[in-house]
Amino acid sequence: MSTSPMNVVVGVAGGIAAYKACHVVRHFKEAGHQVRVVPTAAALNFVGAATFEALSGNPVSATVFDAVDEVQHVRVGKEADLVVIAPATADLLARMAHGCADDLLTTTLLVATCPVVVAPAMHTEMWEHPATQANVELLRSRGVIVLEPAHGRLTGNDTGPGRLLDPEQIVTLALAANASTSFRRDLEGKRVLITAGGTQEHIDPVRYIGNHSSGRQAYALAELAAQRGAEVSIVAANTEVLPTPAGAVVARVRSARDLQEAVFERAENQDVILMVAAVADVRPAEVAETKLKKGANDAQLQQLTLKENPDILRSLVQARDSGGMKAQPLIVGFAAETGSKERDALDLAREKLKRKGCDLLMFNEVSGDQVFGKLRNRGVLLGSDGSETPVADGTKLEVAGVILDEIAERLRRDS
Ligand code: CTP
């Protein structure tokens, strides 16, 4: 992700979500970028120019007839390194698609040659209308990155797709889009199942055995896969604090056996399954109904009898290879390894790939607390065909981009 300061134009169209543009501006400013807000006249009915001026530290105008001597309608677009429109209404999408230039925002868009990222917000009917969808398709075919809107509560009592993404998500996605080419719509219509988080195996009502995993890498994969056109389902083990990625459906589970059941319920029709979750290898043979007390239950606490959990990844591969699934999903495993004097971590991952039988295995080294809960990742993507693709250090969204590039390429080859 680019960290050098950029000139970011934040375009704001006239919808109720315009107030969230204030947070978009703040996030860009906090990340060290220069921001110029260009609202439409309608947007100024929702948020006043003074607010945008104070937040951005720059003058705000909606029309080409302000500061005419500065030829703003050309200058703002030319100087922009990134244009982000949040929210974009159905009307603005239509005007963009048809090259209208009747205010400062649309003229800026015609002049700008930098990446343009659009976050739509409107009622579901308007989003799903064939006219809007055709405009979105046309804009995407021209390289504009139109983000999928979130699914959720809209103004009034309705819910559905059309809600503006969270401002922080918009900024993260826009910066990632600007830094890479990973926003192609190359997973359009593909069904992708992603497991996330770490399972918890109950000892008693308050204690559990579990694995470290924030779920961030899985959520970044889900976020990006949905933005690349996939239908994404997440089976999430204990990831409550993370916001649901736009366009993804989340099923929540706790233990390895819950996760296994939820995955197998959904596995049948998937094109891709990514087993990102950290699955606890063992669980207590018995779960105590009441909290085990130290004195009274010393023996029970100190000598827990453990049972091995099912190997979900291995059994998915077996089910697929024995013809037990309608689709033939590409199956991807994840291995967080620590090396030792005797064993190289990458070698352990190579062995694991063979043992699990999956098509790809994303290996990362976790010695010294390098990955868990952090915002960055790196590693090597190992293929069952012997391929080894180094994944450079980057944000989890950037790492997700490399993994999804490889997956999209394999799906394309196999189709
Ligand atoms: N996995 C799984 N079921 C398990 C354990 C792991 O499906 N019971 C999956 C994980 O989701 C991950 C991959 O297998 O995609 C590797 O996980 P890891 O914990 O590294 O594998 P283990 O088989 O537990 O190997 P180790 O001996 O290193 O613990």
Instruction: Indicate if 42 and 100 belong to the same structural domain.
Output: yes
Contact between residue 206 and residue 292 where contact means Cβ atoms under 8 Å apart = no
Please tell me the total count of domains within the chain.
2
Task: Provide the percentage of residues in the chain whose pLDDT is more than 70.
Answer: 96
Q: Where a domain ends, among 178, 201, 227?
A: 178
Contact between residue 312 and residue 260 where contact means Cβ atoms under 8 Å apart = yes
Instruction: Indicate if 149 and 207 belong to the same structural domain.
Output: no
Q: Per-residue pLDDT for 68 more than 90?
A: no
Closest residue to atom 23 of ligand 1, CA basis: 311
Terminal-to-terminal C-alpha distance of the chain: 32
Question: Could you list the residue range(s) of the whole structural domain that residue 280 is in?
Answer: 191-414
Q: Where a domain ends, among 136, 155, 178?
A: 178
The rounded distance, in Å, linking the Cα atoms of 322 and 48 is 63
On whether residue 333 sits in a domain, the answer given is: yes
Report the separation in Å between the CA atom of 335 and the middle of ligand 1, taken as the mean of its atom positions: 7
On whether residue 186 sits in a domain, the answer given is: no
Is 39 buried (19+), middle (13-18) or exposed (0-12) by CB count in 10 A? buried
Instruction: List, chain by chain if needed, residues with CB within 6 Å of any ligand 1 atom.
Output: 256, 275, 277, 279, 281, 309, 311-313, 333-335, 356
pLDDT of residue 159: 82
pLDDT of residue 2: 46
Q: Two tokens at 335?
A: 């291995």
pLDDT of residue 276: 98
Residue 135, SS3 per DSSP: helix
Q: Shortest CA distance to 229 belongs to which of 311, 140, 142? A: 140
- Is 331 one of the annotated binding-site residues? no
Q: Where a domain ends, among 178, 207, 239?
A: 178
Instruction: Tell me if residue 7 is catalytic.
Output: no
Ligand 1 atom nearest to CA at 334: 15
- Is 311 one of the annotated binding-site residues? yes
pLDDT of residue 302: 80
Instruction: Indicate if 225 and 333 belong to the same structural domain.
Output: yes
Instruction: Indicate if 128 and 216 belong to the same structural domain.
Output: no
Closest residue to atom 18 of ligand 1, CA basis: 335
H/E stretch holding 397: helix 396-414
- What are the C-alpha distances in Å from 414 to residues 184, 240, 327? 19, 36, 13
Instruction: Indicate if 307 and 404 belong to the same structural domain.
Output: yes
What are the φ and ψ backbone dihedral angles of 257, each rounded to 5 degrees?
-70, -35
Q: How many CA atoms lie within 13 A of 349 on its CB side?
A: 25
Instruction: Indicate if 209 and 72 belong to the same structural domain.
Output: no
Instruction: Indicate if 307 and 382 belong to the same structural domain.
Output: yes
Instruction: Indicate if 200 and 142 belong to the same structural domain.
Output: no
Instruction: Indicate if 242 and 168 belong to the same structural domain.
Output: no
| pLDDT bucket at 328, cuts 50 / 70 / 90 | very high
pLDDT in tens, 184-215: 889 999 999 999 999 999 999 999 999 889 99
H/E stretch holding 248: strand 248-253
Q: How many residues does the chain have?
A: 415
Q: Per-residue pLDDT for 174 more than 70?
A: yes
The rounded distance, in Å, linking the Cα atoms of 38 and 96 is 14
Q: Per-residue pLDDT for 319 more than 60?
A: yes
Q: What is the mean pLDDT of residues 408-413?
A: 95
Closest residue to atom 9 of ligand 1, CA basis: 313
The one catalytic residue among 45, 58, 178, 211? 211
Q: Per-residue pLDDT for 375 more than 80?
A: no
The rounded distance, in Å, linking the Cα atoms of 132 and 316 is 40
- Is 29 one of the annotated binding-site residues? no
On whether residue 46 sits in a domain, the answer given is: yes
Instruction: Indicate if 201 and 245 belong to the same structural domain.
Output: yes
- Is 294 one of the annotated binding-site residues? no
On whether residue 264 sits in a domain, the answer given is: yes
For 64, residues 6+ apart whose C-beta sits below 8 A from its C-beta are: 72, 73, 103, 104, 107
Q: Per-residue pLDDT for 86 more than 80?
A: yes
pLDDT of residue 340: 84
On whether residue 183 sits in a domain, the answer given is: no
Choice from 195, 213, 275, 353 to test ligand 1 binding pocket (greatest atom count within 8 A of CB): 275
pLDDT in tens, 92-151: 999 999 999 999 999 999 999 999 999 999 999 999 999 999 999 999 999 899 999 988
Q: Per-residue pLDDT for 324 more than 90?
A: no
Choice from 281, 317, 355, 363 to test ligand 1 binding pocket (greatest atom count within 8 A of CB): 281
On whether residue 184 sits in a domain, the answer given is: no
E strands, 5-99, are 7-12, 34-39, 82-88
On whether residue 408 sits in a domain, the answer given is: yes
Closest residue to atom 22 of ligand 1, CA basis: 281
| pLDDT bucket at 371, cuts 50 / 70 / 90 | low
Q: Per-residue pLDDT for 158 more than 70?
A: yes
- State the average pLDDT for the chain: 92
**Pairing between β-strand 330-337 and β-strand 306-308 as defined by DSSP bridges:** unpaired
pTM assigned to the model: 0.88
Q: What is the CATH number of the domain that holds 95?
A: 3.40.50.1950
On whether residue 1 sits in a domain, the answer given is: no
Report the separation in Å between the CA atom of 1 and the middle of ligand 1, taken as the mean of its atom positions: 30
pLDDT of residue 301: 77
Ligand 1 atom nearest to CA at 277: 11
Instruction: Indicate if 165 and 202 belong to the same structural domain.
Output: no
Contact between residue 332 and residue 353 where contact means Cβ atoms under 8 Å apart = no
Contact between residue 384 and residue 359 where contact means Cβ atoms under 8 Å apart = yes
Per the rule left: phi > 0, alpha: psi between -120 and 50, beta: everything else, 71 is: left
Q: What is the mean pLDDT of residues 16-45?
A: 97
Report the separation in Å between the CA atom of 311 and the middle of ligand 1, taken as the mean of its atom positions: 7
DSSP-derived letter for residue 22 is H
What are the φ and ψ backbone dihedral angles of 160, each rounded to 5 degrees?
155, -175
Closest residue to atom 16 of ligand 1, CA basis: 335
Number of helices (H), then strands (E), in the chain: 14, 19
**DSSP symbols for 154-170:** -SSS-EEEEEPPPHHHH
| pLDDT bucket at 181, cuts 50 / 70 / 90 | low
Q: What is the CATH number of the domain that holds 218?
A: 3.40.50.10300
The rounded distance, in Å, linking the Cα atoms of 95 and 120 is 13
pLDDT of residue 176: 83
The rounded distance, in Å, linking the Cα atoms of 325 and 191 is 14
Instruction: Indicate if 349 and 395 belong to the same structural domain.
Output: yes
Cis previous bond, 59, omega within 30: no
Biggest CA–CA distance in the chain, Å, is 84
Q: What value, to the nearest 5°, has the Cα angle with vertex 340 and ends 339 and 343?
A: 80
Q: Per-residue pLDDT for 330 more than 70?
A: yes
Q: Two tokens at 415?
A: 């189709």
Q: What is the mean pLDDT of residues 16-35?
A: 97
- Is 78 one of the annotated binding-site residues? no
| pLDDT bucket at 287, cuts 50 / 70 / 90 | very high
